[in-house]
Amino acid sequence: MTHRPTGEPLRPVRPHPVEPPDLWDRPPRPDQVDPAVLGALLHRHGWQRRGGAPGRYGRWTPPGPGGSGTSLLVPESRAFPDSEDLLGEALVALFRSGSPAARDVLLGLAVPSDEIRWWRDVPTGPVGASPWTVEERLRTAARQMLLAGALAVRGRAGYYGARHRGPAAASLDDVLVGAAPGGRQLTAFVPVSTGRPLAVRLHQALHAAREAVDYQRATGSPDAFDGAVGAGVSHELTAALMTLVRGTEGATVAVRWAPAAGVPDGCAATAEPVGFSPGDLPALRAAAARYLREEPAVPVRLTGAVVRMRRPGPRGDGTVRLRVLAGAEVPHVRMTLDEEAYRIAVHAHLVGLPVRVHGRLESRGGFRRLTGASGVVPVQVDEAERDRLKKSLKENLDFFGEACGGD
């Protein structure tokens, strides 16, 4: 056991981070809530209006057979003196309720969000429970679909591979999720402030995918999937739809706009849910394979830092891995260089400089491989970046053996 010498001052301890005020530890303030938005959210999440003074307030009861004992009086506007009090009482009652229907309403008030809802028609287990794998598949399909929508926001392509994947995944960090019991339904709350383009693109892509599937099933021609790329349909989206539908008797996806933000331009106020069935799987599978097969290579001029090198002997061609700094939407690429270009890459790495190279990003393998590499030259960078690259070299001592031909 090691003991600290007496009299030695204690090391300074990093202070514990101060948490920001929690949005969820109290009900929203009445002056922050639009009564019309509250009424719209109650209706959306299954609450029933059962009377009330017309034009003044409505009496709402929660969904389900046990909802008759609880009710909320919600004003329709702020035009009457007691509107603020009624609104405050309704918000406190929602906050104290433990029901998912109340939670979802409060979530829609705290963070104005477009809602994307998935539903799968699957058999339930004992007492309405579902197997673990059923809920896992629903969550996997939902995440794949959100990622496909986020990729489509950044550009249209039949197949993305590794392109845009990091920024697209990061854009999902603010999305909140609410799951219904039974593993059959899942709702994603996409904040309007950061995620509305994603919700709009996914809404358009789902309808385009449905139309393309219908066209292929009716005519046998996959041509409609070519035009659907412009609406956001891709290999990633069709793969997500297959995950959603497989093992079910049918699945639907619905996009509902945040009442506080209104309807986006070019979108219907009450869009119908989009449904897919097991009979659609052959068309979706064929489309996914076609997108993967036909996505063309992309000519690029990359700037990247050498992070790994390997060749079988002291001379000849070698393989280099670059961390991409500019020129492509992928984090890393691999390429094969001739002896002279490999020597240039080694020297650039030793002095802490990135290199620039021309070539074609091949779709096969997810746009992670550069072919036809040529014109390899070092690129000058500022001192801070150069020092960081040198530090990376020292932390990877096995690089020397690989760069010089050792395995």
- CB atoms inside a 10 Å sphere around CB 159: 21
Helix (H, G, I), strand (E, B) or coil at 326: strand
CA distance 385 to 353: 8
pLDDT for residue 4 is more than 50? no
**Three-state DSSP class for residue 9:** coil
Q: For residues 316 and 341, what is the distance between their CA atoms, to the nearest angstrom?
A: 10
Beta bridge partners of 359: 300
Highest mean pLDDT, choosing among 52-56, 148-152, 260-264, 364-368: 148-152
Q: CA–CA separation, 171 vs 228, rounded Å?
A: 23
List beta partners, residue 73: 59
Sheet holding 113-120, edge to edge: 176-179, 185-191, 113-120, 251-256, 274-276
Position 237 scores a pLDDT of 97
Q: By three-state DSSP, how is residue 66 classified?
A: helix
pLDDT more than 90, % of the chain: 44
pLDDT recorded at residue 290 = 95
Lowest mean pLDDT among 22-26, 214-218, 235-239: 22-26
- The backbone torsions φ and ψ at residue 117, rounded to the nearest 5 degrees and listed phi first, read -120, 130
Look at residue 23 and tell me whether its pLDDT is greater than 70. no
pLDDT at 79 over 50: yes
28-37, 64-73, 90-99, 154-163: segment of lowest average pLDDT: 64-73
The overall average pLDDT reported for the chain is 84
Looking at residue 128, its pLDDT comes to: 63
Average pLDDT over residues 39-55: 83
Residues in the chain: 407
CA 241 – CA 239 distance, rounded (Å):
5
245 forms beta bridges with none
- Report the alpha-carbon distance of residue 287 to residue 158 in Å, rounded: 9
Look at 5 and 163; give whichever has higher pLDDT: 163
Nearest 5°: phi and psi at 377?
Answer: -140, 145
**CA-CA distances (angstroms) from residue 353 to 325, 346, 398?**
12, 10, 19
**Phi, psi of 215, deg, nearest 5:** -65, -40
Region of poorest pLDDT, from 57-61, 161-165, 249-253, 271-275: 57-61
Residue 1 has pLDDT above 60, yes or no: no
pLDDT tens digits, 327-359: 888 899 999 999 999 999 988 888 888 999 999
Has residue 205 got a pLDDT over 90? yes
Q: Which of 103-117, 271-285, 361-375 has the highest mean pLDDT?
A: 271-285
pLDDT band at 321 (very low <50, low <70, confident <90, very high): very high
Give CA–CA dist 71/68, Å, rounded. Answer: 7
Is 47:62 a contact under the CB 8 Å cutoff?
A: yes
CA distances from 384 to 207, 389, 397 (A): 49, 9, 21
Percent of the chain with pLDDT over 70: 84
DSSP 341-379: HHHHHHHHHHTT--EEEEEEEETTTTS-EEEEEEEEEE-
pTM assigned to the model? 0.81
pLDDT at 190: 95
Whether the per-residue pLDDT at 404 is higher than 50: the answer is no
Note the pLDDT of residue 127.
59
- Is 281's pLDDT higher than 60? yes
pLDDT band at 386 (very low <50, low <70, confident <90, very high): low
- Model confidence at 394, pLDDT cuts 50, 70, 90, reads low
What distances in angstroms separate CA 359 from CA 108, 187, 194, 255, one per listed residue?
A: 48, 43, 35, 41
- Bigger pLDDT: 271 vs 165: 165
Query: How many other CB atoms are there within 10 angstroms of residue 262's CB atom?
Result: 10
Name, in order, each residue with C-beta under 8 angstroms of 214's C-beta and a sequence gap of 6 or more.
none
